[in-house]
A and B are shown apart, each in its own frame.
Chain A
Amino acid sequence: MLAHTLKTALKVFLRRKFFTGVNLFGTALTLLVLVVATALLEHTIGPHAPELNGDRSLGVFNAKLRGDHYATNGPPGWKLLDLTVHGLPGAERVSIHSGFAPVATYQTGRKVDFYLKRTDAEFFRVFALRFLEGGPFGEEEVKTGARVAVLNASTKSKLFGADPAVGRTVETDGQRFRVVGVVEDVPSLRLTVFSDVWVPVTTARGDGYKQELIGSFLATIVGRTRADLPGIREEFRRRVAAVPLPKPGERLECAAETYVEAVAREFGFDENGTLAMTAIALALALLFMALPAINLVNLNVSRMLERASEIGVRKSFGATSRRLVGQFVLENVLLSLTGGMLGLLASLAVLAVINANDFIPYAKVGLNLPVFAAGLGFALVFGVLSGAYPAFHMSRLHPVTALRGGN
């Protein structure tokens, strides 16, 4: 029976090449977008090195200082973080570091652009950067403002080629840094960790940053366990409320939040809006799948109408409606799975292009098993969604009506 169904399905697909092509293209394209989007999302927020503790981490990404007639909004300043994040109960590690800023250097007569990030020594304990040469700078070097730097592999390669970099110097922004370590490239979508060069925070020009409530820093707080996070949030809130403000009547808003919460806030959701944002994202994904599925339902109804006579014959010779539904859904699932496989192959190709080019610097986007399984799952849902209704509709045709062509 299965062999007969497969044979029939293959013949029908080959007879209706245009329909088959449209169907395969629709499924493959939808999957391509979903799989690539999922892979990028997973690449951005999934638990990968160097962010292995994402599930028990909080960040301080934004602060807002409000007066009666004004508001200053931006990344928190050093002073705010220094006053609030150290010694939080339940926190295992805390790091304060700047965002990444573009800088340039001239090496052997040519300009090399790169990003620079200023960090404390804890940064290298909070994040699992993989050292290829040397090691991180430590507390002492940060305390003394030693001009040392850790480079990523690509920058090291641009500056020094294949030669070892540790011990050599990089000059930028009027400062000369001695290279103490080289790490694997950090993908640019890992916004908290990403940079090309990391140097001690104390190498910043002047001490002005130490007085800022709103500035250019962020903090990462790793809890001992996930269960410690609510307590950390609460204590952080309490400490923020106690920060002395420059002018009377000003209010300071700043929260310790997860990365997803920070993204939700950027999109205008309130502090409890993560769930809503996730629901909207899921709804959009479902809608994205449902639209081609509805289109395919239409195509399938007309395709199956052409097979009304076959339905009549099969019913005349003993097929039940249920059996016919099974046959048509199976045909559709096969078609969708083929489209799914094509979509996955296309996704692999697109991900390879993303990895090989500079659209997303240092991206190492992979089609891992969960993404692959999700892709196949999408294809199956697609097959069932676009095949079930037409199959059910057609299987209920009266045998005599079906033999007359469905009219």
Chain B
Amino acid sequence: MIRLENVEKVYQTDRIETIALSNINLDVKEGDFLSIMGPSGSGKSTLLHLMGLLDVPNKGKIAVGGKQIVSYGDKHLARIRNEEIGFVFQTFHLIPDLSVLDNVEIPLLYRDLKAAERKRRALAAIERVGLSSRAHHFPTQLSGGQQQRVAIARAIAGSPRILLADEPTGNLDSAMGDEIIAILTELNEKDGTTVVMVTHDARQASKTHRIVRLFDGRQVS
């Protein structure tokens, strides 16, 4: 589903060159549930961003959904992100001015869908995370766990085949964290969604199919 071959990512400023990732080779199969672990600064989020086409590698090849990424043009990447990938962020990144429903509709705005169909799909995603009664609330009216469930609803509203979660439980207590992992597990098991999750939490990582470990930008297992 996602394949990285000899991927390298270097951040360069005027004086300093930082190798964020070096020689990464990773093959994420369809239906996989993968954890990426490692200490802070080891390149976990950078790897997730590359897999989600939010960032561009300096070297190497990336394939998503079986298709090699040959062009990193804005329009091309936007289409792949919209159709193939859903993102869940540690700090939720909900738009505070918009209701839960409007937030969840965001990925559908960039598809050729009628308003009624967008609403139907968004409500279905909200129902999936158990927040139907909160569809017209605003993010600030929700708890952290509920906000992360809204973020998951937004990520799955467009029915992507890949879900990329960057420390989705990092800002939550363990009970709420468990709820979120349960939702991700269900999406993986019932829908066959491929899930890649960055986490510091070994307990949560142990619930996934396999763990990739990074250290100083290198893949160590």
Contact = CB atoms under 8 A, between A and B. Distances in A.
Interface of A: 1, 3-4, 7-8, 11-12, 15, 309-310, 312-323, 398-400, 403
Contacts of A12: 97
14 contacts: A4-B109, A8-B97, A8-B102, A11-B97, A15-B96, A312-B93, A315-B78, A316-B52, A317-B86, A318-B111, A323-B110, A399-B49, A400-B55, A403-B54
Given A7-B102, A316-B52, A320-B74, A309 B93 contact: yes
Given A3-B115, A4-B105, A399-B54, A318 B78 contact: yes
Contact of A319 (B55, B78, B89, B96): B78
A317 B102 contact: no
Given A7-B98, A400-B49, 16 more contacts: A8-B98, A15-B96, A15-B97, A310-B95, A313-B106, A315-B78, A315-B81, A316-B52, A316-B54, A317-B158, A318-B111, A319-B78, A319-B109, A399-B55, A400-B54, A403-B54
B75 interface: yes
A319 B55 CA distance: 15
B68 to A, nearest CB: 20
Interface of B: 49, 52, 54-55, 74-75, 78-79, 81-83, 86-87, 89, 93, 95-98, 102, 105-107, 109-111, 115, 154, 158
Given A309-B93, A323-B110, A318 B81 contact: yes
Contact of A317 (B55, B96, B97, B107): B107
Contacts of B54: 315-316, 399-400, 403
A316 B93 CA distance: 11
A314 B74 CA distance: 13
Interface centre among A8, A320, A322 (most CB of B within 10 A): A320
A320 B75 contact: yes
Contacts of B86: 317
Nearest to B82: A318
Contacts of A318: 78-79, 81-83, 107, 110-111, 158
Contact of B74 (A7, A309, A316, A321): A321
Nearest to A309: B93
A311 B216 CA distance: 30
Contacts of A15: 96-97
Given A1-B109, A399-B54, A400-B49, A316 B81 contact: yes
Contacts of A398: 55
Nearest to B84: A318
Nearest to A10: B97
A314 B102 CA distance: 12
Contact of B82 (A11, A312, A317, A322): A317
B141 to A, nearest CB: 14
A377 to B, nearest CB: 30
Nearest to A398: B55
A4 B108 CA distance: 11
A317 B110 contact: yes
Closest 3 CB pairs of A and B: A318-B82, A11-B97, A318-B110
A399 B56 CA distance: 11
Contacts of B83: 318
Given A4-B105, A4-B109, A400-B54, A320 B97 contact: no
